Structure 1
Amino acid sequence: DAGRLRQVNQRDSSDYEDMSITTVGVKNIRARQTTSDAFDFANLSYKWNDALTAGYGFGRLDDFYRQHLLSLNHLLPLGDGQSLKSDLRFARSTDEGGSNVDNKAFGAMFTYGIGGHALGLGYQRMSGDTGFAYVNGSDAYLVNFVQISDFANREERSWQARYDYNFAAVGIPGLTFMTRYLSGDDVELGAGREDGKEWERDTDIAYVVQSGPLKNLGLKWRNATVRSTNFGNDLDENRLILSYTLPLW
């Protein structure tokens, strides 16, 4: 797929506006201007077999940055309802003459599944003169991009431990649970300042009605806690999400 975006509509806004780079965290990104009216992208993926898929993506925010993105996904069946999923990602971001963007981002997530259980371990590393650049309001191409933090600050390294459970395994289809903990350190805050640290804990519990007049109605509760050292804000957040899927045919 490929395309060009000219404007965005943020979640907390009612109008369309030009695009800007996210300012979350400590990314050390500087630019001559604040907004852009052109984001070009192209993505290609190839499924080598039922277990292995590779992908390449390109993104360009006019006057700000260019990005090349590589991905590799593999699913290894282990028998008896067990599997190991591997998700590897690498991104290289450079400036377009109007900013100082310079970042390499590597991420890996490995998830072991057995029955209704899934246990995941992830690692993410930033390197370069800046943190990871992406359009404000969008999802970052990172394994540790979660509910509040992106763990994509300058020189940051972060780990993730995640647990999921699908209650269909015990006869309650539609009910799911997820919890994860992420910890980041080595955040470069500038000369004379101690490196920054942060952590985030997220919990989701969701249910989708399986039958009757409310079939496909989903209810999800999300809770998150973020704490940081030497930068950022301490946050506690709750989200209640209602969703509905309407089959068209």
Structure 2
Amino acid sequence: MSKTPLARAVALATLGASLALPAVAQAAFLEDSKASIEARNFYFNRDFREDAGQSKQEEWAQGFLLRLESGYTEGTVGFGVDALGTLGFKLDSGDGTSGSGLLNPDRSGGSQDYYGGLGLTAKAKISESVLKVGSLQLKNQAIGSSDSRLLPQVFRGGNIVSKDIAGLTLDAGYLDEVNNRNSADYEDMTLNQFTLSGITFGGNPNQSNEFIFAGGNYKLTDSLTGGYYYSNLEDMYKQHSFNLVHVLPLGDKQSLKTDLRYARSTDDGVSNVDNKAFGAMVTYALSGHSLGLGYQKMSGDTGFAYVGGTDPFLVNYVQIGNFAAKDETSWQARYDFNFASIGIPGLTFMTRYLTGDNIDRGALADGKEWERNMDIAYVVQEGTFKNLGLKWRNATMRNNFGRDIDENRLIVSYTLPLL
């Protein structure tokens, strides 16, 4: 693939920032710098509950993430550079059990012994506006980089975020390629395809090298925030996304949070995307307890549209499923408890149950599915092992149109600050 103008700009910007470091090593640039290394040990087991096909995905891997973040040089325009180095090693991946997303696949159907990369990001700051060009991890209504496996998903492009107006955050970006969670190379982006999404491409390839987005969030009152984003995956889809979040204080250590989301997605020439997605989540919190009820409804000719491998901005996107198939209606009940409220800081628990139905299966009976999740996590708060994290994620998925799944993820992580 030939290099795009953006790719050349990224290369020149990051190279220029790296070469200029000795000359711009001013106080703020160095004193505000941060660096850390995270060791992430990840065991993944997905058991398919029937005999046909691959019976399970089971892999164990060790990852390392080096994060460097400089401060800014002095002056009206401050310049800096960030870096993300990643490296993943295979510890175990038996015959026929690959495909978990932890490791880089090889041509024989197994997994490679190791993979990784180095991402550089040049940045400039004026007042409260920051421009970044290079490797990006994004999390907004339009696109969310996934970090639910060994190594994170990283995009290549440019992003500007402005907070110059009190209460208002403006956000815009251009992306041309993605380095997925289990990949060592950048590649074109895709439109995510999932079971019964109803999305087709009319014989065209599912790939795009341009994603643009623009939007922001505004704090309308102390308790109400509104957001809007426009996004376009070239040739694949266009999307308008709206969000309202209201937090109502109810007394001592009590609150009621309402999160409303709506997205309208249409095709952009190659696909047949046509979707309206509505979601609502209401959460009551009391001390360390929180109880949430969620509702999500899909309508239109297809399911929800989003960039492949990312975390979609949906209230019912969970560990395995997204509950976003064509015409699907789904409900969620969720309970969280933070043990800090009873004197055990760092220990948290979450469980939720989701059920979806009315999925369009053509001439067949409507599709149905349900999923149950449980997370238990603990992060050591002090002492020799401070920042050591332990997490167990358990999930069960059942449906009448695909494979049943039992899944466990065990994650041990340790973050060591270097600066």
More moved, 116-125 vs 10-19: 10-19
Match of 1:85, SS? strand
- In 1, the alpha carbon distance for the partners of 2:178 and 2:412 equals 23
Moved more, 123-132 or 206-215: 206-215
Q: What TM-score do you get using the length of structure 2 for normalisation?
A: 0.57
CA distances 1:150-202 after superposition (whole Å, capped 9, x unpaired): 00000000000000000011110000000000000000011x21100000000
Q: Does residue 402 of structure 2 align to residue 236 of structure 1?
A: no
> Which digits, 9 at most, give the CA deviation of each residue in 1:74-127, with x for residues without a partner?
100000211100000000000111111000000000000011100000000000
Amino acid at match of 2:368: K
2:246 maps to amino acid:
H
Task: Look up the match of 1:92.
Answer: 264
1:118 matched residue in structure 2: 290
Q: Find the partner of 1:219 among 365, 375, 390.
A: 390
2:178 aligned residue: 8
CA drift at 1:2: 1.1
Does residue 104 of the first structure (1) align with residue 276 of the second (2)? yes
How many angstroms apart in 1 are the aligned matches of 2:373 and 2:292?
14
What one-letter code is carried by the residue in structure 1 that aligns with 2:224?
L
The 5 A counterparts of 1:135-154 are 135-154=307-326
Q: Match for residue 24 of structure 1?
A: 194
- Aligned partner of 1:156 in structure 2 is 328
Q: Counterpart of 2:295 in 1: which secondary structure?
A: strand
- 3-state SS, counterpart of residue 6 of structure 1: strand
The answer to whether structure 1 residue 50 and structure 2 residue 222 are counterparts is: yes
Bigger share in helix: 2
Which residue, 353, 367, 383 being the options, matches 1:196? 367
Distance 2:214 2:410 in 1: 34
Instruction: Give the Cα separation in 2 of the matches to 1:242 and 1:45.
Output: 34
Give the match's secondary structure for 2:243: strand
* 2:350 paired residue number: 178
Please report the TM-score for the alignment, with normalisation by the length of structure 1. Answer: 0.96
Q: Do structure 1's residue 133 and structure 2's residue 305 form an aligned pair?
A: yes
The equivalent residue for 1:66 is: 238
Which 4+ runs in 1 deviate beyond 2 A? Answer: 241-249
Which consecutive unaligned segments of at least 5 residues does structure 1 have? none
In structure 2, distance between residues paired with 1:49 and 1:141? 23
> Between Structure 1 and Structure 2, how many residues are aligned?
247
Q: Secondary structure at the match of 1:169?
A: helix
Q: What is the alpha-carbon distance in structure 2 between the residues aligned to residue 43 and residue 219 of structure 1? A: 36
Identity %: 64
Q: Secondary structure in 2 aligned to 1:8? A: strand
Equivalent AA in structure 2 for residue 237 of structure 1: E
Gaps of 5+ in 2: 1-170
Shift in Å, 1:143? 0.2
Deviation at 1:138, TM superposition (A): 0.1
Following superposition, the deviation at residue 49 of structure 1 comes to: 2.4
In the alignment, residue 251 of structure 2 is paired with which amino acid?
G
For residues 28 and 2 of structure 1, the distance between their equivalents in structure 2, rounded to whole angstroms, comes to: 30
Letter in 1 for 2:386: K
Q: C-alpha separation between the residues in 1 aligned to 2:403 and 2:234?
A: 31
SS in 1 for 2:340: helix
AA of the residue aligned to 1:14 = A
CA distance in 2: counterparts of 1:236 and 1:55, whole angstroms: 36
Q: Distance in 1 between matches of 2:386 and 2:215?
A: 35
